[in-house]
């Protein structure tokens, strides 16, 4: 019998307060019907968006009102579904909300192309006539910025229609990897069969039984080998689609097209890869420490996920974890710290696993609601860090919506992971300074190091791989399974030089779904680099740096990502933040090495 409780058995204080959005499902229905009717109001503006200042302001204002309501309707349905993914009622509500969001986006799709008919000077004249339009200054700047890469109406319509086709390889991959592929079971030391899944593969590689880890590793990648040509064909065509779409939009390369969306120069990407690639010695040191801790002659690929502290960590109940997290946020100021504490008391967090609950964790909510955090808290150090991480996202959204209008309430992925990782780094610093328990300190350091390793180094390796694959396609060279294996194995050997790189790890590229969203993963690496630089500034300079950071959080998407980060004292156009992050990783690594002696 499963020990996971039913939803009804979880104490209310450990569940999120979705009734604060809609008291009943009937209230959701009323909101759904209301906004569905308003979507049609946008049609009356088609063809005349920029006919005068008043009309432009009216259509933008109406669009934002509709999108705000749609986002709230969608968020409620999705979170209700995530409480119990087997609940058919909320599956249906979520599907309806997704269709509503698609209808709203389609209804508003004419607005940006019509704005591109303006010049900057004409928009400035409209602002003089209608000062309320000043709110949309940055938004219009971004729309006009993309004009050289916007094609005629006919071609844009064709590209939109082809979007489902060009994105099909990712869908095929997801169906193959999540629905059709199945992995064998292996026998553990007690003779019990352990089923390998996509979800538990990494956790199984943390088991202390080294022979079990080897058999899990080999069985898992042997199954991928049986799909090797299919996955290679899918990825090859995904890269082709990236390249051809970029060319259709007048970009020289697919990477340039991907980075131009958030207005990030390609030099930022190159600086990241070059800086990390030229400073692999600390990663090599980490690998060597793992070999020593495991007392083995050769570190193998199935050993890389083993924590330096062993698999058993101290228990950390949720209430203790929240105390640690709140206390760690003191450097961000009393108001920030108090807001987090009050949020935890106000049912922001859906804490524990229940039967049917969505796995993992996320920060949700909308412009018009309080934050909501889904957790599956497990009374361990990793769960505590996940809580700190998601609270960072929630506070970013909270401070943004207090300061910014709806149009700037979101933020690009390039900056999205900064707030979450700032909280993690502050938690590490706080616990190392205040906790006496050496075992807890070891596990805190190990958790921090593994998060940096898997985010800064691993994602940069991925970024280097996908840049090279796109370069090969753009040069007209074939992307075969053998070529992809060769490329990936070479990178793995460079990044993990002290370890034995075998043939199976050359296939690891096959299991990375993010590769079907090209030039996305590098932002995890830049995000953690920026965050660790922010924390250094705050700990060195105190309140002045904390105030700059809070200003950054309040800006949302009011500026482009690099400008936003400069507000927080970080220049991601240089290697300095990356160098700082690598140095911090090295320092923490030596701290743990000393504790382990």
pLDDT digits over 81-119, tens only? 999 988 999 999 999 999 999 899 888 989 999 999 999
Task: Calculate mean pLDDT across residues 235-252.
Answer: 95
Check residue 388 and give its pLDDT.
Answer: 97
Task: Calculate mean pLDDT across residues 316-339.
Answer: 97
Task: Confirm if 325 and 384 have CB atoms less than 8 A apart.
Answer: yes
Task: Calculate mean pLDDT across residues 62-71.
Answer: 98
Task: Calculate mean pLDDT across residues 275-299.
Answer: 95
Rounded to whole angstroms, how far apart are CA atoms 321 and 313?
Answer: 14
**Mean pLDDT, the chain, integer:** 94
Q: Which among 274, 421, 413, 395 is positioned nearest to 335, based on CA atoms?
A: 395
User: What count of Cα atoms within 13 Å lies in the side-chain half-sphere of residue 419?
Assistant: 29
Task: Confirm if 401 and 367 have CB atoms less than 8 A apart.
Answer: yes
pLDDT > 80? residue 465: yes
Minimum mean pLDDT range among 200-204, 329-333, 377-381, 445-449 = 200-204
Check residue 541 and give its pLDDT.
Answer: 97
Interstrand relation of 299-300 and 499-500 (parallel, antiparallel or unpaired) = parallel
Q: Which among 144, 143, 129 is positioned nearest to 55, based on CA atoms?
A: 129
Q: State the Cα angle at 24 between 20 and 28, rounded to 5°.
A: 90
- Tens digits of per-residue pLDDT, 362-411? 999 999 999 999 999 999 999 999 999 999 999 999 999 999 999 999 99
Rounded to whole angstroms, how far apart are CA atoms 405 and 60?
Answer: 12
CB atoms within 10 A of CB 551: 14
pLDDT > 90? residue 78: yes
3-state SS class at 597: coil
What ranges in 8-52 are assigned the alpha helix state H?
Answer: 25-39
CB atoms within 10 A of CB 189: 10
pLDDT > 50? residue 467: yes
Active-site residue (options: 390, 417, 464, 559): 390
DSSP one-letter string for 381-420: HHHHHHHHHHHHHHHHHHHHHHHS-GGGS---HHHHHHHH
Rounded to whole angstroms, how far apart are CA atoms 524 and 456?
Answer: 7
| Structural domains present in the chain | 11-150 (1.20.140.70), 183-226 (1.10.287.830), 239-315+405-597 (1.10.1370.20)
User: What count of Cα atoms within 13 Å lies in the side-chain half-sphere of residue 91?
Assistant: 8
Task: Confirm if 85 and 356 have CB atoms less than 8 A apart.
Answer: yes
- Tens digits of per-residue pLDDT, 145-154? 999 998 876 7
pLDDT > 60? residue 74: yes
Q: Could you identify the residue written with the tokens 């969608």?
A: 74
Q: State the Cα angle at 303 between 301 and 306, rounded to 5°.
A: 140
Helix (H) / strand (E) element for 193: namely strand 193-195
User: What count of Cα atoms within 13 Å lies in the side-chain half-sphere of residue 100?
Assistant: 28
Exposed, middle or buried by CB within 10 Å (0-12, 13-18, 19+), for 38?
middle
Phi, psi of 97 (to 5 degrees): -65, -40
Task: Confirm if 99 and 39 have CB atoms less than 8 A apart.
Answer: no
List Cβ neighbours of 124 (8 Å cut-off, separation of 6 or more): none
Task: Confirm if 263 and 142 have CB atoms less than 8 A apart.
Answer: yes
Look up residue 6 and give its DSSP letter: P
pLDDT > 50? residue 425: yes
List Cβ neighbours of 227 (8 Å cut-off, separation of 6 or more): 176, 181, 510
Check residue 221 and give its pLDDT.
Answer: 97
Task: Confirm if 407 and 139 have CB atoms less than 8 A apart.
Answer: yes
Phi, psi of 500 (to 5 degrees): -85, 120
Rounded to whole angstroms, how far apart are CA atoms 533 and 531?
Answer: 5
Task: Calculate mean pLDDT across residues 305-326.
Answer: 91
How far is it between the farthest Cα atoms of the chain? Answer: 78
Check residue 2 and give its pLDDT.
Answer: 44
Check residue 1 and give its pLDDT.
Answer: 33
Check residue 153 and give its pLDDT.
Answer: 67
pLDDT > 50? residue 349: yes
Which token pair is 201? 């593969």
Is there a catalytic annotation at residue 334?
A: no
């Amino acid at each position: 019998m499963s020990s996971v409780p039913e939803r009804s058995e979880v104490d209310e204080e450990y569940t999120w307060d979705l009734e604060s959005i809609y008291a009943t499902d009937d209230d959701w229905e009323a909101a759904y019907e209301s906004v569905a009717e308003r979507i049609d109001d946008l049609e009356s503006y088609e063809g005349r968006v920029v006919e005068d200042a008043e009309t432009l302001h009216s259509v933008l204002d109406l669009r934002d009102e509709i999108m705000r309501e749609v986002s709230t309707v969608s968020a409620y349905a999705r979170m209700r579904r995530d409480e119990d993914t087997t609940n058919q009622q909320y599956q249906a509500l979520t599907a309806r909300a997704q269709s509503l969001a698609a209808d709203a986006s389609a209804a508003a799709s004419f607005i940006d192309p019509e704005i591109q008919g303006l010049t900057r000077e004409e928009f400035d004249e409209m602002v003089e006539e209608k000062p309320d339009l000043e709110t949309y200054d940055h938004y219009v700047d971004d729309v006009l910025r993309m004009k050289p890469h916007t094609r005629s109406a006919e071609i844009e319509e064709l590209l939109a229609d082809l979007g489902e086709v060009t994105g099909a390889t990712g869908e095929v991959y997801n169906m193959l990897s999540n629905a059709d592929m199945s992995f064998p079971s292996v026998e553990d030391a007690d003779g019990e069969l352990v089923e390998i899944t996509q979800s538990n593969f990494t956790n199984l590689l943390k088991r202390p039984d080294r022979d079990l880890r080897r058999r899990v590793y080999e069985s898992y990648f042997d199954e991928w080998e049986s799909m090797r040509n299919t996955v290679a064909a899918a990825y090859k065509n995904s890269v082709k689609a990236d390249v051809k779409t970029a060319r259709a939009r007048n970009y020289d390369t697919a990477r340039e097209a991907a980075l131009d969306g958030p207005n990030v120069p390609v030099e930022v990407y190159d600086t990241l890869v070059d800086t990390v690639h030229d400073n692999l010695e600390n990663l090599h040191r980490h690998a060597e420490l793992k070999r020593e801790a495991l007392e083995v002659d050769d570190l193998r690929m199935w050993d890389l996920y083993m924590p330096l502290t062993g698999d058993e960590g101290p228990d950390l109940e949720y209430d203790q974890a929240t105390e640690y997290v709140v206390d760690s946020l003191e450097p961000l100021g009393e108001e920030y710290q108090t807001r987090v504490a009050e949020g935890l008391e106000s049912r922001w967090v859906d804490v524990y696993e229940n039967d049917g609950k969505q796995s993992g964790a996320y920060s949700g909510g909308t412009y018009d609601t309080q934050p909501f955090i889904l957790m599956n808290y497990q009374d361990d150090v990793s769960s505590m860090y996940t809580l700190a991480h998601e609270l960072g996202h929630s506070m970013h959204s909270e401070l943004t919506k207090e300061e910014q209008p709806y149009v700037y309430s979101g933020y690009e992925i390039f900056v999205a992971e900064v707030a979450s990782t700032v909280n993690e780094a502050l938690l590490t610093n706080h616990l190392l300074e205040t906790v006496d328990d050496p075992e807890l300190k070891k596990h805190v350091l190990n958790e921090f190091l593994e998060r940096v390793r898997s985010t800064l180094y691993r994602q940069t390796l991925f970024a280097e791989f996908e840049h090279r694959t796109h370069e090969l396609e753009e040069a007209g060279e074939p992307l075969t399974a053998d070529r992809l294996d060769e490329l990936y194995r070479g990178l793995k050997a460079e990044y993990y030089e002290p370890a034995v790189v075998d043939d199976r790890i050359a296939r690891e590229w096959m299991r990375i779904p993010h590769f079907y969203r090209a030039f996305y993963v590098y932002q995890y690496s830049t995000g953690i680099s920026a965050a660790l630089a922010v924390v250094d500034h705050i700990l060195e300079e105190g309140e002045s740096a904390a105030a700059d950071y809070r200003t950054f959080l309040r800006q949302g998407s009011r500026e482009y990502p690099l400008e936003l980060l400069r507000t927080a004292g970080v220049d991601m156009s240089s290697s300095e933040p990356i160098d700082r992050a690598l140095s911090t990783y090295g320092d923490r690594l030596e701290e743990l090495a000393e504790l382990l002696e």
